[in-house]
Amino acid sequence: MKASELPDEVEILIAGAGPAGLAAAQELARAGARTLLVDARPRLGHPLRCAEATRAALFEELGVEGRRSWIRWQLKGTVGVLIVDRQRLEEDLARLVGTRGVAVRPATSVVGVGPWDGSGRTVLLQTSETRREVRARLVIAADGVASRVARLAGLETRLGLGELAACV
């Protein structure tokens, strides 16, 4: 990606194109906010660290028509619980929010977050080719439970074992 493909300024920068980042991007697209969605992974939805079980109502809540290719199977004996193909879902939702005005930039890492100056922050982005500063009024750290981006902004995100949950 070339530095020219990154805007100089946005209203909102979302770091992380997983479920939380994509849901935020979808809502911000509806609201018409000038949004940049970046993800460190060169291919969205890959590699996956977990599978996803969700409610069938998720797609309606996101304001998108569910696609059969997103659903691996529906759990029998449950009311509307689906196991989704997260890779396809994330790739398709990223394309969708891109058509709705969100600038989506995979293979772009947040490597620095400047302090709040009363009107926004400067975020340092790294691509394979360059480093570039982007000004954002709001930064959403959607890069996982122990967010590295939030730590760059000065927030403590390390969790103790008693604060984590796992499922099979």
Question: Residue 5 has what pLDDT?
Answer: 80
Backbone φ, ψ for residue 128 (5° rounding):
-65, -20
pLDDT in tens, 77-114: 766 788 888 888 889 999 999 999 999 999 999 999 99
Q: What are the residues facing 131 on neighbouring strands?
A: 126
pLDDT in tens, 60-74: 887 888 888 888 888
- What is the rounded CA–CA span in Å between residue 95 and residue 154? 31
pLDDT in tens, 132-155: 999 999 999 999 877 899 999 998
- Lowest mean pLDDT across 44-48, 78-82, 140-144, 164-168: 164-168
pLDDT in tens, 107-136: 999 999 999 999 999 999 999 989 999 999
Q: Where are the beta strands (DSSP E) in the chain?
A: 9-15, 35-38, 52-55, 71-74, 81-84, 103-105, 109-113, 121-126, 131-141
pTM of the model: 0.85
pLDDT at 51 over 70: no
Percent of the chain residues past pLDDT 90, beyond the cut: 54
